[in-house]
Amino acid sequence: MGLNLTQKIIKSHLISGNMVTGEEIGIKIDQTLTQDATGTMAYLQFEAMGIPTVKTELSVSYIDHNTLQTDYRNADDHIFLQTVAAKHGIYFSRPGNGICHQVHLERFGKPGKTLLGSDSHTPTNGGIGMLAIGAGGLDVAVAMAGQPFYLPMPKVVRVELKNSLKPWVSAKDVILHLLSILTVKGGVNKIIEYGGEGVATLSVPDRATITNMGAELGATTSIFPSDEQTRLFLKAQGREEDYLPLQADKDAKYDEIIEIDLGLLEPLAACPHSPDNVKKVKDLHIKVDQVAIGSCTNSSYTDMKRVAEILKGKTIHPNVSLVISCGSKQVLAMLARDGSLAELISSGARILESACGPCIGMGQAPKSGAISVRTFNRNFEGRCGTKDASVYLVSPEVAAATALTGQLTDPRTLGDYIPISLPAKYLIDDRMIIPPSGEVNDIEVIRGPNIKPVPLGKPLENDISLPVSIKVGDNITTDHIMPAGARILPLRSNIPAISEYVFHSLDPLFAQRAKELKQSVIIAGNNYGQGSSREHAALAPMYLGVKIVIAKSFARIHKANLVNFGILPLEFVNPNDYDLISEETTLIFTNLKQALNSKEVTAKIVETEKEIKLQATLSMRQIEIIKKGGLLAYSKSQVDLL
């Protein structure tokens, strides 16, 4: 039996385990990336392991999230990241060079390689044929130290693409359609592998849009074959030598197959407040206050060029604020040279720097009660910076049409389609990427006063009584647990300070209550921790004394992050037992260490004396990590064995 594309890459990188669905495997990581919102903590963790130089083929530190410098804190993080990169053999992408996923796709991504990134949208590089996986910063730090990345062997879902997209329908509509099928939890512990005749009609930037938003499915990653489109993209980037043809075998098997006829798709929008709340744009008649074009999902040269052509010679609606952020300096410079930037500015667009910006609530929050139409990947409530705003996710074509009309608009009403060709050669200028220095002994790592030591978890207690500190429902995101935004993101390297904002949007008194309880347990519904890879959503609760989280189910990255910081994730055997617990409940766990060895745990409700059955769907390695108090303590001993 032949191998699918996913299996081929995993097999060539397999260090431990077997490619059996659900079995834990360890794979070699070729490349890593970090961004500044997660990078400071990741490199503090790397330093704590005592490794002088990264052991990967390539590691890159990007500055793209915390670029709004309202005081010293973000700037201090930037110089820390630059000096720590120079000290430990890491490439450094300076502020203004662009968004990590876009720049990595342009300058570093290689077909057939593995990439681990401390950002949930790392799968963007699956568009170039990489096995690119998002993870917590500690997992990335451990990978930089030369250790394997561990994960359950995922199921592999083949998405069979047929025919080609019609005019004014784009790659964004493909992934929105798939989200409408699978929902935000339908991809958990799965890898989405694209194939079929329709693949050849999609460029690498198209594919990257689709793999980027595969993160919203909860998928481990998404991947496209490496084919002629891949070769042309790499050639245009001056990197044809990195090309490697890579396809699934004709007789490859899959756990599931989904067929999508590209020719039947229409312009779509994800309505508030979830990426899977998808409707046809033509059925939505909504006045709009703000349009934002960019983010790591739709900020490529072809995306921006098409927007410029749509807006050429026109003026945006007087009631709409249009903001545009290109994905990289390369994109911005090319638009400036071919005149497209002038067209965007003349239309009334406000040009932002090449960074994440509004996508993570870092500026450009809309007005109270606004309707904001964005080409981004997430529209969780409050993520834009305005609690009562409603965010719709759309393609660049829909966004540009909407900016002109002032209401959500199907771009097919604009008339003749405007074809945009990929450039035969991109503008290559890597001066904003600083390669690692060979002279590391004289490099001083500079730490500002906001950069605090990494808090460490404590070893698991065998018998423990835990009051409930909060009970939450389904699809709680990492934005709910650990908010982003211009006020909170600068605290990423200061866990005592940022922990004051845990669950702030749901319960502003949570942090105070958790500290008063000293130790506690969180109760949650399905898909707890969906969204971002931000490990602070586990690290800050650990700092506040959270020892256990009991949920109906977990999102993959957040569950791994809980383990990494010594918080035990348990799942209800009977989901109805969720209803037996309230925020006034105390749970008693006895012989916990022995119970974990069988992966079956019993908790007693003090108030009713009822017992509930729980399961630890963890590997024995993860259980040992929990017992030791977290991955950092566990890894220190493992590094000595390398």
**Catalytic residue list:** 64-65, 119, 378, 532, 534
Which CA distances in Å does 543 have to 154, 509, 616? 31, 16, 22
Q: Please identify which residue in the block is written with the tokens 């008194």.
A: 509
Q: Specify whether the CB–CB gap between 105 and 297 falls below 8 A.
A: no
DSSP E strand stretches across 418-541:
433-434, 464-471, 520-524
Q: Specify whether the CB–CB gap between 351 and 321 falls below 8 A.
A: no
Closest CA to 104 of 436, 492, 430, 422: 430
Which CA distances in Å does 115 have to 6, 29, 203? 13, 6, 21
Cα distance between residue 223 and residue 126, in whole Å: 4
Q: Please identify which residue in the block is written with the tokens 């609760």.
A: 541
Tokens standing for 523?
A: 């109760």
Which CA distances in Å does 376 have to 197, 201, 293? 27, 23, 7
Say if strands 464-471 and 586-589 run parallel, antiparallel, or are unpaired: antiparallel
Q: Specify whether the CB–CB gap between 366 and 290 falls below 8 A.
A: yes
The strand order across the sheet containing 433-434 reads 131-134, 114-117, 31-35, 58-62, 91-93, 433-434
Tokens standing for 298?
A: 């739709």
Tokens standing for 567?
A: 């918080």
Cα distance between residue 501 and residue 526, in whole Å: 23
Q: Looking at this protein, which amino acid is placed at residue 120?
A: S
State the CB neighbour count (10 A cutoff) for residue 472.
18
Tokens standing for 563?
A: 């383990």
Write the DSSP symbol of residue 472. -
Say if strands 433-434 and 91-93 run parallel, antiparallel, or are unpaired: antiparallel
Burial code (b: 16+ CB inside 10 Å, e: under 16) for 543-570 equals bbbbbbbbbbbbbbbbbbbbbbbbbbbb
Question: How buried is 521 (Cβ within 10 angstroms: 0-12 exposed, 13-18 middle, 19+ buried)?
Answer: buried
Cα distance between residue 9 and residue 111, in whole Å: 10
Task: Find all residues with CB under 8 Å of 256, minimum gap 6, and list them.
Answer: 155, 157, 158, 190
Q: Looking at this protein, which amino acid is placed at residue 172?
A: K
Q: Specify whether the CB–CB gap between 389 and 366 falls below 8 A.
A: yes
Q: State the chain's maximal CA–CA distance in angstroms.
A: 72
